[in-house]
Amino acid sequence: MVTALALFSGGLDSVLACRVLMAQNIKVIAVKFITPFFWG
């Protein structure tokens, strides 16, 4: 099985990008960086 690494922001575009990959039978590992310099 192919695996993809996705930078995940939590917005609609990241969700849709991950879902498109998953629909193609690609395992997705989502990475979200949390930093104290930005709020949200």
Report pLDDT for 20: 96
Longest dimension (CA), the chain: 37
Specify the pTM: 0.76
Q: In the chain, where are the structural domains located?
A: 1-40
pLDDT per residue as tens digits for the range 2-39: 999 999 988 999 999 999 999 999 999 999 988 888 76
Confidence grade of residue 40 (pLDDT, cut at 50, 70, 90): low
CA torsion through residues 31, 22, 3, 18, sign: negative
